[in-house]
């Protein structure tokens, strides 16, 4: 929410500086997003008068102006604004000035062969409004040569982040109330007098949906003159990021932003018969003020007359009955709408508005009459006219919550002792009524629906008193060595994070929600978990895999010039269980994309990642996770998202898949906007069998062998279709006591190797126990190795 300092000071009597106000707002829990001052960027722009305006000799739509800064030395400026004319006083940007709207630095230049010494500026170019039809026109008596920043004065704009539990601060007046309670100033009274009508309201008002609209107040003002709103009103709306439209519309926006009270003004001439708050009828449509047509449902509440719907109640008015320059009679609507109904309608229509944001948080139900008086007084003052009496249909929920409060609770819950007199002062300044001496009876104001219990009162006292006043007190600790608090799963995640990072990967944290199409692509036929109330339509399905989020992150980085990416993420994937509940599973995913090694004089072309790189990552990380990697089998069927000839799974038996790895299928890569080979790994950490030790991952003590290990090399001829892993596993199992390691160091196919076969060279490491191997022992082990290889179809190569 945005507002200017001058707007705040119109409601709060204070001499505090901008910095003091910003710091206090943050201390109160109203976090400052930014504080900007438009005048800072306007120091090099000057007030100037156009002396002459002549047609450009080389362009029909340009003029050559002679501009006076009051120093007697006119400057020549080329200008294309249609309102540029002799005698106009405007704003001149001199060479060296930077245009706020686009960051362009002005320079002396030739435009179509004519020298120009700057630029006459519009309000949009100076970020002071949306008007770009012509250059700024200032009063005749504006001081020539003065900096435009000094001319308009400094009026900083605060941008405050309002949390959903503080509907009272969705208006500047509520923010001023908080600051006054914190001692920053004195809250000015509203000073609104009741506006008596001159006769009965000529429009009948009805309610047919009392649950959604308990109260509907209205009054007619006839004989208004609609036009531009006053400068002070436009300036405040512009500071809030609103575009001034007309006096009638601006007044309703001003009351909403200033006091948190949404309202609506209808052009009376466009209404037919009674105006009713009723449920929408199936299939009814309305064109809203944003120009879009919406199809309504019966659970939605609308404001309609006998001709049809004119307003999506509490969210946005209709285009048909909106006020225009020709409007002379208006119907003012001030109503109370149920927050739940507003939220449900807004979500169903995917329609956000300032009014919806306030109604669904809960506006002050006691502010209807005051809001009506504010609107009426402003319209009569700005637009003239004659107001009717107010029609009040229904009744807002005015019941106030009364809480029992023990002031000693502040010290027990808040951690700081605040004097009872100070607690009473704070609560009274925030609008609470406090009675009693021992245990207090506190009446909650109607604008604070978030206060439901005594702990909430403690929070109010503490945040105003100052969270920085709460002492930092360590929790008590028992003597001795502290026991570890991390669970085995947390320890596993930490270890894998370190391992993946040590291997050169960068951790990413992506959304747990996905677009439905991306989730379906990685669901593998399993039921998806779809959210009933997603944060957006594009993020409505819980991820069945971590890979889609990582692939999207890879695409964003590649689009921004990254050449080599190694990203990993540890998190949960979400599936729908048979009982309809969410089933969360721990996973780890790695994506390798771009260049594995860059091009160079020694390596030639850049080398991409391959499926073997993915396999190496999978095995290394599984080993860190405690999986029995020596017992894993490499099998196919990684999934339709993978390249069928360059992917596989790692399994403990035919059905227990611990990981899948390989190259992404070209169609999958294309669907995610990726080009070139992409290697991926997905580890299903929930499927790794648990260790039998009490801690889950006990580290055995290190006992180096007393004797030196021996290596022997073997080369076996096997059929092409025999996986190297199967042969390697058979070799390792030939003698589990003596053989401690084995690895493939050569894969040869060519001269001397029969067609359809390959030669796999394996290095075997033998570790003697209590005595060294003699030749007979080595031969016996070699015979076992050759026999084991024979069972896989391997023959010792001569």
Give the mean model confidence (pLDDT) for residues 451-472.
94
d(CA 441, CA 449): 17
Phi, psi at 612, each rounded to 5°: -70, -30
Tell me the two tokens of residue 178.
């908080």
Phi-psi region of 667 (alpha: psi -120 to 50; beta: other; left: phi over 0): alpha
Task: Specify whether the CB–CB gap between 156 and 4 falls below 8 A.
Answer: yes
Query: Is 450 marked as a binding-site residue?
Result: yes
pLDDT, position 704: 84
Torsion of CA 475, 477, 483, 489, to 10 degrees: 0
Give the mean model confidence (pLDDT) for residues 355-369.
95
Tell me the two tokens of residue 43.
């120091």
Task: Specify whether the CB–CB gap between 552 and 672 falls below 8 A.
Answer: yes
Q: Name the band, by pLDDT with cuts 50, 70 and 90, for residue 580.
A: low
pLDDT, position 725: 85
d(CA 568, CA 570): 7
Tell me the two tokens of residue 670.
């294309």
pLDDT, position 696: 47
Per CATH, domain 488-687 is 3.20.20.370: no
Give the mean model confidence (pLDDT) for residues 685-701.
69
Query: Is 282 marked as a binding-site residue?
Result: no
Tell me the two tokens of residue 331.
């119907």
d(CA 722, CA 730): 12
Task: Give residue-wise pLDDT tens across range 191-250.
Answer: 888 999 999 999 999 999 999 999 999 999 999 999 999 989 999 998 898 889 999 999
d(CA 613, CA 646): 11
Tell me the two tokens of residue 201.
């309201």
Task: Specify whether the CB–CB gap between 534 and 347 falls below 8 A.
Answer: no
pLDDT at 668 over 80: yes
The CATH code for residues 2-37+156-187 is 3.30.56.10
pLDDT at 665 over 50: yes
pLDDT at 30 over 90: yes
Q: Name the band, by pLDDT with cuts 50, 70 and 90, for residue 693.
A: low
pLDDT, position 474: 86
Query: Is 460 marked as a binding-site residue?
Result: yes
pLDDT, position 480: 84
pLDDT, position 699: 62
Tell me the two tokens of residue 710.
């021996």
pLDDT at 181 over 60: yes
Task: Specify whether the CB–CB gap between 410 and 462 falls below 8 A.
Answer: yes
Task: Specify whether the CB–CB gap between 4 and 143 falls below 8 A.
Answer: no
Q: Which CATH class is domain 710-796?
A: alpha beta
d(CA 286, CA 588): 48
pLDDT, position 241: 87
Q: Between residues 392 and 696, which one has the greater pLDDT?
A: 392
In three-state secondary structure terms, 748 is: strand
Intervals of CATH 3.50.40.10 along the chain: 205-394
Q: Name the band, by pLDDT with cuts 50, 70 and 90, for residue 536.
A: confident
- Sign of the C-alpha dihedral, residues 596, 599, 603, 604? positive
**Cα-based distances in Å from 308 to 237, 275, 498:** 32, 10, 64
Tell me the two tokens of residue 537.
């339509």
d(CA 787, CA 791): 7
pLDDT, position 655: 87
β-bridge pairing 301-304 and 186-187: unpaired
Intervals of CATH 3.30.70.380 along the chain: 710-796
pLDDT, position 630: 83
Task: Give residue-wise pLDDT tens across range 89-125.
Answer: 999 999 999 998 888 999 999 999 999 999 999 988 9
pLDDT at 697 over 60: no
* Residues above pLDDT 70, as percent of the chain: 99
Task: Give residue-wise pLDDT tens across range 608-656.
Answer: 999 999 999 999 999 999 999 888 888 888 999 999 989 999 999 888 9
Intervals of CATH 2.40.50.140 along the chain: 39-152
β-bridge pairing 275-279 and 205-207: parallel
39-152: which CATH architecture?
Answer: Beta Barrel (2.40)
Q: Which CATH class is domain 402-469?
A: alpha beta
pLDDT at 76 over 70: yes
Task: Give residue-wise pLDDT tens across range 470-497.
Answer: 998 888 888 888 788 888 899 999 999 9
As a whole number, the mean pLDDT across the chain is: 92
**Cα-based distances in Å from 88 to 50, 79, 84, 117, 485:** 5, 13, 7, 18, 75
Q: Which CATH class is domain 205-394?
A: alpha beta
pLDDT, position 203: 95
pLDDT, position 537: 80
Intervals of CATH 3.30.56.10 along the chain: 2-37+156-187, 402-469
């Amino acid at each position: 929410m945005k507002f200017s300092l001058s707007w705040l000071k119109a409601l709060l009597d204070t001499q505090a500086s901008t910095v003091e106000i910003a710091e206090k707002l943050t201390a109160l829990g109203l976090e400052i997003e930014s504080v900007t001052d438009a005048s800072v960027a306007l120091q090099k722009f000057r007030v100037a008068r156009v002396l002459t305006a002549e047609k450009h000799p080389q362009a029909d739509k340009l003029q050559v102006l002679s501009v006076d800064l009051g120093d007697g030395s006119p400057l020549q400026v080329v200008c294309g604004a249609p309102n540029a004319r002799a005698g106009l006083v405007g704003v001149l940007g001199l060479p060296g000035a930077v245009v706020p709207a686009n960051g362009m630095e002005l320079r002396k230049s030739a435009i179509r062969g004519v020298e120009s010494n700057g630029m006459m500026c519009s309000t949009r170019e100076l970020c002071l409004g949306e008007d770009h039809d012509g250059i700024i026109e200032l009063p005749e008596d504006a001081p020539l040569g003065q900096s435009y920043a000094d001319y308009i004065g400094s009026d900083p704009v605060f941008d405050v982040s309002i949390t959903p539990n503080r509907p009272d601060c969705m208006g500047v007046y509520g923010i001023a109330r908080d600051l006054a309670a914190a001692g920053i100033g004195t809250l000015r009274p509203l000073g609104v007098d009741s506006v008596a009508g001159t006769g009965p309201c000529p429009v009948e008002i009805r309610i047919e949906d009392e649950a959604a609209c308990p109260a509907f107040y209205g009054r007619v003002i006839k004989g208004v003159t609609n036009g531009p709103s006053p400068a002070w009103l436009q300036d405040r709306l512009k500071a809030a990021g609103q575009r001034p439209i007309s006096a009638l519309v601006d007044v309703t926006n001003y009351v909403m932003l200033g006091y948190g009270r949404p309202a609506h003004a209808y052009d009376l001439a466009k209404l037919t018969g009674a105006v009713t708050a009723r449920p929408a009828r199936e299939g009814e449509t309305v064109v809203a003020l944003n120009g879009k047509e919406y199809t309504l449902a019966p659970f939605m509440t609308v404001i309609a007359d006998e001709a049809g719907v004119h307003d999506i109640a509490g969210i946005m008015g209709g285009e048909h009955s909106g006020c225009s320059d020709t409007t002379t009679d208006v119907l003012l609507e001030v109503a109370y709408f149920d927050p739940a109904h507003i939220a449900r309608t807004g979500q169903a229509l995917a329609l956000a508005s300032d009014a919806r944001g306030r109604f669904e948080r809960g506006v002050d139900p006691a502010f209807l009459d005051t809001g009506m008086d504010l609107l009426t007084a402003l319209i009569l003052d700005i637009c003239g006219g004659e107001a009717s009496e107010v029609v009040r249909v229904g009744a807002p929920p005015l019941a106030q919550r009364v809480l029992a409060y023990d002031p000693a609770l502040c010290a027990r819950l808040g951690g700081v002792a605040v004097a009872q007199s100070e607690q009473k002062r704070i609560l009274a300044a925030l609008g609470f009524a406090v009675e009693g001496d021992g245990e207090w009876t506190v009446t909650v104001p109607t604008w604070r629906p978030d206060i439901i219990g005594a702990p909430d009162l403690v929070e109010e006292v503490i945040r105003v008193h100052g969270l920085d006043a709460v002492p930092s007190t360590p929790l008590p600790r028992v003597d001795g060595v502290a026991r570890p608090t991390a669970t085995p799963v947390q320890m596993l995640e930490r270890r894998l994070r370190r391992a993946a990072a040590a291997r050169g990967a960068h951790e990413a944290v992506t959304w747990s929600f996905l677009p439905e199409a991306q989730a379906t692509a990685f669901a593998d036929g399993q039921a998806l978990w779809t959210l009933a109330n997603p944060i957006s339509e594009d993020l409505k399905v819980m991820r069945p895999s971590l890979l889609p989020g990582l692939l999207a992150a890879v695409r964003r980085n590649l689009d921004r010039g990254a050449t080599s990416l190694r990203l990993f993420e540890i998190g949960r994937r979400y599936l729908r269980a048979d009982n309809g509940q969410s089933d969360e599973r721990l996973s780890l995913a790695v994506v390798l994309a771009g260049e594995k090694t860059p091009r160079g004089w020694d390596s030639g072309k850049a080398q991409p990642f391959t499926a073997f790189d993915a396999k190496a990552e999978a095995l290394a990380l599984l080993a860190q996770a405690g999986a029995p990697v020596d017992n894993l089998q490499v099998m196919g069927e990684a999934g339709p998202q993978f390249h069928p000839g360059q992917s596989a799974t790692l399994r403990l038996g035919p059905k227990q898949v611990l990981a899948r790895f390989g190259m992404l299928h070209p169609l999958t890569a294309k669907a995610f906007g990726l080009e070139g080979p992409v290697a991926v790994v997905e580890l299903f950490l929930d499927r790794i069998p648990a260790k039998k030790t009490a801690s889950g991952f006990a580290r055995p003590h290190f006992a180096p062998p007393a004797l030196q290990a021996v290596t022997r090399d073997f080369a076996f001829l096997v059929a092409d279709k025999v996986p190297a892993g199967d042969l390697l596993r058979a070799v390792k199992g030939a003698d589990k006591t003596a053989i401690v390691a084995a690895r493939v160091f050569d894969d040869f196919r060519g001269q001397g190797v029969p067609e359809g076969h390959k030669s796999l060279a394996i290095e075997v490491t033998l570790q003697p126990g209590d005595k060294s191997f003699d030749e007979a022992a080595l031969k016996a082990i070699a015979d076992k190795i050759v026999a084991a290889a024979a069972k896989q179809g391997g023959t010792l190569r001569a």
